[in-house]
Each structure stands twice: as structure tokens, then as C-alpha cells.
């Protein structure tokens, strides 16, 4: 799935308050709960599966990007939330640099190919330096969402 298909502007947090990856994951999952994308009573179980995946290896892939993700049987469609931190989040990244852009996504259990394709599409999109700079300098969630959709459809 493409990033524009997963997100809506109300699933973007233009200024994360988190200072580390665990707080960022909790903040983004909380945002998915408040937007109705995941049920409140599933919050802890979903956070646990994302954090278990993150414990196996950081999804801070470098270049200021973090892509925490997991599969769970508690959702029926791919969903996710995007956050930006202007000050940077300690994500234990591969390049030891803070993360400014965090895309958390969830895929229904058993959809391995969709999981891999979604991860690859997001990583490829966010590896574009000009695109990252556009997201980092966008004034608000609406401008960020517009940039994501324009970049996604340009591919």
C-alpha cells in the first residue's frame, strides 16, 4: 500500500511531543485510538506488538526516519499515523542520529506480502531527501498530507 492510501490529514501529528521511540510509538498509537482507527481496548495489545518488533531491531533506518510497524489480528485494514518532531526523537537509529519523521503502520495478521510492500514503499518514499525536507518544513498537517499525496502519485 502507498502512504497516501494509509494516511489522512487527521492521522498526521505535525509536532510530536515524544523524546524517545517508545513515547513516539505510544503517542502515534494514542492518535490512532482517538481518531477511531483502533479500539481503545486494543491499545495496549497493539503497543506491545509494535514494541516487541522494535525491541528485535530499531526501525530507525537512518536519515531521520523511523518506521515502527507490526502485524496484528486486532485490525482489518492497513492503518497508520505519521508524526514529525522538529527537535528529533532518540530512536536508537542505525546512523545514531535523531529521527524527525516517524511513520507507524499496522497490517492485519497474515498479510506478509502487503506488510513488506507497504514497508518498502514508505522507506523508498522517505529516502528522497527533497521530499523529507518538504515534510520537515511544511507548516501543518494539511500541507504535509498534500505533499505526501503529490509525491506518492508522482511515482
Q: Report the distance separating Cα 99 and Cα 66, nearest Å.
A: 6
Beta-bridge partner residues of 60: 66
Catalytic residue numbers read: 69
The domain segmentation of the chain, as residue ranges, is 3-154
Q: pLDDT truncated to tens, each residue of the chain (155 aa)? A: 788 989 999 999 999 999 999 999 999 999 999 999 999 999 999 999 999 999 999 999 999 999 999 999 999 999 999 999 999 999 999 899 999 999 999 999 999 999 999 999 999 999 999 999 999 999 999 999 999 999 987 65
Q: Is the pTM of this model over 0.75?
A: yes
d(CA 120, CA 105): 12
Give residues with Cβ within 8 angstroms of 48, minimum separation 6.
Answer: none
Q: Which residues pair with 79 in a beta bridge?
A: 106
What is the number of residues in the chain?
155
The answer to whether 70 and 106 are in contact (CB under 8 A) is: yes
**CA–CA distance from 95 to each of 61, 90, 98, 133 (Å)?**
8, 11, 9, 18
For 3-154, CATH gives 3.40.930.10
Strands 60-62, 65-66: pairing is antiparallel
Amino acid at each position: 500500500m502507498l502512504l497516501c492510501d494509509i494516511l489522512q490529514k487527521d492521522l498526521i501529528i505535525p509536532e510530536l511531543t515524544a523524546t524517545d521511540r517508545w513515547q513516539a510509538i505510544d503517542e502515534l498509537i494514542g492518535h490512532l485510538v482517538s481518531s477511531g482507527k483502533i479500539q481503545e481496548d486494543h491499545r495496549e495489545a497493539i503497543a506491545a506488538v509494535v514494541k516487541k518488533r522494535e525491541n528485535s531491531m530499531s526501525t530507525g533506518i537512518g536519515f531521520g526516519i523511523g518506521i515502527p510497524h507490526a502485524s496484528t489480528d486486532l485490525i482489518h485494514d492497513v492503518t497508520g499515523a505519521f508524526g514529525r518532531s522538529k527537535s528529533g526523537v532518540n530512536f536508537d537509529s542505525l546512523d545514531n542520529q535523531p529521527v524527525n519523521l516517524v511513520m507507524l503502520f499496522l497490517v492485519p495478521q497474515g498479510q506478509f506480502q502487503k506488510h513488506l510492500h507497504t514497508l518498502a514503499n514508505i522507506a523508498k518514499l522517505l529516502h528522497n531527501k527533497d521530499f523529507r525536507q518538504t515534510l520537515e518544513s511544511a507548516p501543518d498537517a494539511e500541507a504535509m498530507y498534500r505533499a505526501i499525496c503529490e509525491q506518492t502519485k508522482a511515482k
